[in-house]
Amino acid sequence: MAAHYLDHAASTPPHPAVVAAMTEVIESSFANPSGAHRMAREANRRLDAARAAVAGAFGWTPGNIVFTSGGTEADNLAVNASLALAARRGTPDPLAICSAVEHHAVLEPVEHSGGAFIAARSDGTVSLDHLEELLVDADRSGRMVGIVSVMAANNETGVVQPVAEVARVVRRLAPQAILHTDAVQYAAWEDTRDLAATVDLMSVSAHKFGGPKGAGFLAVADSVDLPAAQLGGGQERDRRGGTQNVSGIIGLASAAEVTVADRAGNNVRVGALRDRLERGIVDGVPDVHVTGATARRLPNISHLCLAGVESEALLFLLEKDDVMASAASSCASGAQQASHVLAAMGVPSELARGSVRLSLGPASTDADVDAAVEAVVAAVNRIRRRG
């Protein structure tokens, strides 16, 4: 029986056009793009074309794009390079601030730097009042804010953050601060051009929208003279040393083009599938809490908390029915970790223990939704009867 893949927020199947484009480059354009000979110049030409395509797809110009090994590197680079830039400008101990619901790729570098966290509201959006308080307190205590990072959409709940409002608060109270957004989930489903005009830095990762793993970028506004966090051969205009992953970048560009062309249609179609999925489960079993239900959400994610259910038992039974899903977030070992996102939203821990994230993609079908509803309802009833 074919698997029903409802874990697109974790990673997506590569689009056939991406596989074809990457295969062709791996076979025919393997030279080092930094070299001087004809074959190297050809690889570099392809890199330039991919850079222009990626920039155009997401609302930036080619010079803004710093290719990275994916979202985690782009997020780390954003935080660490912004703090380094503030220090270079003479700020002794710049402060990093991010929302309490960020992905670990932002959360951990901010934590490591001794940063501060913006509280979330119960619907999963950031508290603008708390952001304001943090910025005023920093100013009063004479601490300059180096970076504020608020994700465009959350990877667990799909909740979309009010980045434009965040920007207004940051520009008013900490005009020197760099504003970063992690658009890793958002870019697959929403037009990023407004974001690009609003923030200074934006992270994107190819494998969330039909591209390969290990390829992504940090977009850097012209006004930010970003220092390199990784030194080497001066690639990416001295902002990220290391030979570029040419085939991965070609795959990223190909995925970006397909995604942007089909995004509006996919948004409507997949949104309807997600709503049907959610309704089926809510109508099928009692005591289901839809996380972030009152906030604006990405169209492809349904995050549910099920009273009296353990996530791991639920995922085990779903897999037996060929439904692939995930819980809050998983660490490299695959084990479930308690969700800092649900904790920040004030979801009681007994309820958070029974969380499941069902995430769809452009290739999802009615059959996937039917199978998932049936499997979740059966599994929840079985677990609750046992309990």
326 binds ligand PLP (CB under 6 A): no
Q: Is 305 annotated in the active site? A: no
Piece of the chain touching ligand PLP by CB under 6 A; list 31-39, 68-76, 83-91, 238-246 = 68-76
Q: What angle do CA 261, 267, 273 make, to 5 degrees?
A: 135
155 binds ligand PLP (CB under 6 A): yes
184 binds ligand PLP (CB under 6 A): yes
Amino acid making up residue 70 = G
Position among 12, 64, 72, 125 found at the interface with ligand PLP (CB under 6 A): 72
336 binds ligand PLP (CB under 6 A): no
- Supply 77's token pair: 């680079």
Nearer residue to ligand PLP within complex by CB, 71 or 210: 71
CA distances from 126 to 120, 204, 341, 367 (A): 4, 21, 11, 36
Question: From the CB of 41, what's the least distance to ligand PLP, in Å?
Answer: 29
Pattern 200-219, ligand PLP, x by CB under 6 A: -----x----------x---
Nearer residue to ligand PLP within complex by CB, 96 or 173: 96
Piece of the chain touching ligand PLP by CB under 6 A; list 21-29, 70-78, 227-235, 241-249 = 70-78
Pattern 163-182, ligand PLP, x by CB under 6 A: -------------------x
Q: Which of 1, 36, 331, 332 is catalytic?
A: 331
Dihedral Cα 74, 76, 79, 84, nearest 10 deg: -100
CA atoms within 13 A on the CB side of 308: 13
101 binds ligand PLP (CB under 6 A): no
Question: From the CB of 205, what's the least distance to ligand PLP, in Å?
Answer: 3
Residues designated catalytic: 331
Q: Which residues bind ligand PLP (CB under 6 A)?
A: 70-72, 75, 103, 105, 151, 155, 182, 184-185, 205, 216
